[in-house]
Structure 1
Amino acid sequence: MSTARRRTATRLADGRELIYFDDSPEFLSGEREHRLDDPRPLADRFSPVPDADGVPQPFTGPQMRRDPLTGDWIPLASHRMNRTFLPAADSCPLCPARPDAEYADGEIPDTHYDVAVFENRFPSLMRVPGQDADGQGVAAPADTVPDDPRDLLEVAAPAAGRCEVICFSSDHRTSVVDLPVSRIRTIVDAWADRTTALGAEASIQQVFCFENRGRDIGVTLPHPHGQIYGYPYLTPRTERLLDQARVYRERTGGNLLRDILHAEQASGERVVLRSEHWTAYVPYAARWPVEVHLAPHRDVGTIPELTDSERDDLAVIYRELLRRADAFFVESDGTPIELPYIAAWHQMPSSRAGRTTTDDGAPLARLHLELFSILRAPGKLKYLAGSESGMGAWISDTTPERIAARFHQLGPVDLSASPASAITANGAHA
């Protein structure tokens, strides 16, 4: 598979960054160029904001507050209440501009693109120049008794991270599973590019690439897209994973995520897909009605660390995993149900976050994808009711073995007979 990609960066009218990632021959050859100007009459996003009396006040970004009961950071993003919600196909802000059309408030000024990434117009995390002077992210307050108890009960900080949108295609009606493997490979490269860029920012401790698909999941823009967050703190799930990995390391000397992968490979019962460089399996204690984890065979911390061969192979197995997920449930007449899902990439946090390695320097985190759905049966959703929402005590509606057995009905486990090298230019199997 060709790894030639073209990266073109520009700025939107309000100063946000926009980057095109292209693999189409006309872009690679230079025959076609992207439109780089944004004609919208948008003010600079950091412009002063009038107060109730009409007096301009300096722009302030979102704030986050620390929950003293759990230690979690909670960004307060009230401005997102006004974001676009389920627009018509002809007015979706993620679609490309229409040729010869009048002005429209779309985020991408060109009439065609392969993959595009831009800063979210309604971010829950935003670094405002001058408001995160230390530039070192956020740490929990020291374990000391302050003079004023509010110093521990009411802790706030700028939510100085970054939120980006990644559009997987300019076609409003497609989905990742429908894209050629070569385009998914471009998406992988875009994830790697943004992980590197955001991870280099001093205020960011963790980079999270993910996709929400389906209205049932809560998607407000149906255009095929995902998001990339740069958090100025460690997320609660990552903190728990690191804690468990540290305890496991102290008890066994092993790497938790690597040993889980090897145990699943040895058992084979819950393995649902396997390729040259990747294995997909249903985890032993799966929470969701449909849940699969995808992990590289080699110890890798982040997406940018993947080799070209591993990225090629990922594009193949990831699309096949999504294809089978879309066949997991069927209507009474046998019609496949498009699965609402979240695809979440877990990566090694920045070393600035601390607690990411053992005392002897061994990494505790390991790259892996967690794909899961809230659909538990055709027309029935898994609601987080009293036990899950009130106490964080999960109750599963099925078993991991039943999930794996259904995937086994959808196709062979071993994809090694069709390696990434056997992919044609248009992404189909040779």
Structure 2
Amino acid sequence: MSTITSTLLSDGRELIYFDDEDSPAERRSGDAAPDLRGLPARGEPGEVRFDALTGDWVAVAAHRQTRTHLPPADQCPICPTTSTNATEIPAADYDVVVFENRFPSLGPAVGNIPSEPGWGTVGPAYGRCEVVSFTSEHTGSFSGLSERRARTVVEAWAQRTEALSALPGIQQVFPFENRGAEIGVTLHHPHGQIYAYPYVTPRASVMAAAAGKHYESVNGRSTLIGSLLEAERKDGSRMVLESDSFSAFVPFAARWPLEIHLVPHRKVPDLAALSGAEKDELAHVYLELLKKVDALYPTPTPYISAWHQAPLIPSLRDAGQLHLQLTSPRRAADKLKYLAGSEAAMGAFINDTTPEAVAERLRSVAVPPAPSVLEGTNA
């Protein structure tokens, strides 16, 4: 079990250290150094505006224009602090760290946004945005972590999901990772993020409506994603990998050139609801999946790793089930799919690959062994 230590940065933002199980004493973060940067006080939230044409909320966060963008390694803001680079993480070393984003799209205040919006409705951009640093090493990626470190990240996701879900006004918690310059990352350091929204996002709303319709039609006997998994396992042509508690498949109607869903066999609403044994297994299976994705081409594959968790609204939560959607715009070694007219304007996707062929490639790709727990700080 990870050791968890919470502290505050000099502007009042929360920072939480998650130590690997059995991490060496010199890497333990319980007595981490304080943040001596003397940062200015945090600003007020931005705003959310209601789009009456679609029924969606849009966050307006102009302050993010000044956020850090692809700094050199010696100026990375999420590497450990040194004498020449005072960073967001005061400790001289760490395993996994979660902290409130200095340039958040949502927050830092939390609360309820207007419940009956219309044209011209504006509200505070309540919510919370957190950064999850997977390792103190500046280079590498999640797929290069040891299984022990991956387990610590899973624990961090689960713990933060539970904590953020309890905040006033929060309706959806979304852990995700953007990997690769092609996706638009602003930091090279291996990391992900967690957004806690004051509304149910447009994509989650569409999925919740379909899930609710299915759940009602089968009298609560199965969730929609659970039924789809059952069908995919029976068909077999799009399956990628399976374990005792999780299965991964390329969906029948995949939108992206590379798209994989990872689904727990047990109905759970979110990462916080997984058992300890399931978290152990997830760390192993998720690493195997990412290694397969990275082994498809000679260079690392850009991707978005999106953890879909059931919304916190009671009427939507029962029908929801945790699952991962991993997507990449890469359609060949030297080609990317760009969202142009049909996709960007109409939301009508046209896939350049067949799901069955992609699944076959992923099944057959050779996966390198996991790094030893004795190798480097990623151990």
Calculate the TM-score normalised by the size of structure 1: 0.82
Aligned equivalent of 1:355, options 296, 299, 315 = 315
Q: Tell whether 2:210 aligns with 1:244.
A: yes
Deviation of the 1:408 alpha carbon: 1.9
Task: Choose which of 302, 305, 313 in structure 2 pairs with 1:343.
Answer: 305
Paired residue secondary structure (2:182): helix
Structure 1, unaligned runs of 5 or more = 47-59, 142-151, 330-335, 358-362, 413-417
Matches within 5 A, 1:4-403: 4-23=1-20, 25=22, 33-46=30-43, 60-98=44-82, 101-102=83-84, 104-128=85-109, 135-141=111-117, 152-253=118-219, 254-329=222-297, 336-350=298-312, 353-357=313-317, 363-403=318-358
Distance in 2 of aligned mates of 1:423 and 1:37? 32
| DSSP-derived class of the 1:195 partner | helix
Q: SS at the partner of 1:210?
A: strand
Question: SS where residue 217 of structure 1 aligns?
Answer: coil
For residues 85 and 423 of structure 1, the distance between their equivalents in structure 2, rounded to whole angstroms, comes to 30
Residues 216 and 423 (structure 1), Cα distance of their counterparts in 2 relative to 1, 3 Å cut: closer
Query: What is the Cα deviation at residue 140 of structure 1?
Result: 4.2
Q: Deviations over 1:20-73 (max 9, x none)?
A: 000164556997754241010212214xxxxxxxxxxxxx31101011100110
Deviation at 1:255, TM superposition (A): 2.1
| Counterpart residue identity of residue 166, structure 2 | A
Query: What SS is found at the alignment partner of 2:316?
Result: coil
Distance 1:294 1:140 in 2: 36
How many correspondences in the alignment? 372
Please give the alpha-carbon distance, in whole angstroms, between the structure 1 residues aligned to 2:124 and 2:261: 33
Q: Letter of the 2:345 partner, please give it.
A: G
Amino acid in the other structure paired with 1:355: S
CA distance in 2, matches of 1:187, 1:237: 25
**Alpha carbons of structure 1 residues 139 and 32: separation in structure 2 relative to 1, 3 Å:** closer
Q: Is the 8 A contact 2:146 2:371 kept in 1?
A: no
Aligned residue for 1:21, secondary structure, equals strand
Q: Work out the CA distance in 2 between the residues paired with 1:288 and 1:369.
A: 15
Q: Is the 8 A contact 2:50 2:57 kept in 1?
A: yes
Tell me the percent identity: 48
- Structure 2 unaligned segments of length 5 or more: list them: none
CA drift of 1:404 comes to 0.6
What code does the residue aligned with 1:120 have?
A: N
Q: Is the 8 A contact 1:24 1:114 kept in 2?
A: no
> Is contact 1:66-1:73 (8 Å) kept?
yes
Query: Structure 1 CA distance, aligned partners of 2:21 and 2:166?
Result: 29
Tell me: CA distance 1:340–1:209, structure 2 relative to 1, closer, same or farther (3 Å).
same
Separation (CA, whole Å) in 2 of partners of 1:366 and 1:28:
38
How far apart, CA to CA, are the structure 1 residues paired with 2:156 and 2:121?
A: 35
In 2, the alpha carbon distance for the partners of 1:242 and 1:408 equals 30
Looking at structure 2, the residues matched to 44 and 192 of structure 1 have their Cα atoms a distance apart, in angstroms, of 29
Per-residue displacement from partner, 1:229-277 (whole Å, max 9, x unpaired)? 0000000011001111122234444421110111111111111011111
Cα distance in structure 2, aligned partners of 1:139 and 1:182 = 43
CA offsets 1:141-182 (integer angstroms, 9 cap, x no match): 3xxxxxxxxxx2111111100000000000001211111000
Q: 1:211 to 1:181 in 2, by over 3 A?
A: same
Q: Compute the displacement of 1:211 (Å).
A: 0.4
Shift of 1:7: 0.6
Q: Which residue of 2 aligns with 1:51?
A: none
Q: Deviations over 1:263-306 (max 9, x none)?
A: 11111111101111100000111011111000111111110111
Alpha carbons 1:65, 1:157 under 8 Å: kept: yes
Instruction: For 1:109, give the aligned amino acid.
Output: P
Q: CA deviation at 1:202?
A: 1.1
CA contact (8 A) 1:182 1:426 kept: no
Which secondary structure state, in structure 2, belongs to the residue aligned with residue 342 of structure 1?
strand
Distance in structure 2 (CA, Å) of the matches to 1:179 and 1:310: 19
Which residue identity does 1:193 align to in structure 2?
Answer: Q
Aligned 8 A contact 1:139 1:233 in 2: no
Q: What whole-Å deviation, never above 9, does each CA across 1:208-235 have from its counterpart, x for those lacking one?
A: 0000000000001000000000000000
The 5 Å alignment of 1:405-416 reads 405-411=360-366
Judging changes above 3 Å, is the alpha-carbon distance between structure 1 residues 28 and 241 closer, same or farther for their aligned structure 2 residues?
farther
Structure 1 residues 260, 423: closer, same or farther in 2, change over 3 A? farther
Larger radius of gyration: 1
Matches of 1:86 and 1:425, distance apart in 2? 30
Q: How far apart are residue 398 of structure 1 and its match?
A: 1.1
CA distance in 2, matches of 1:267, 1:28: 49
The 2-side partners of 1:26 and 1:302 are apart by 27
Shift of 1:138: 4.7
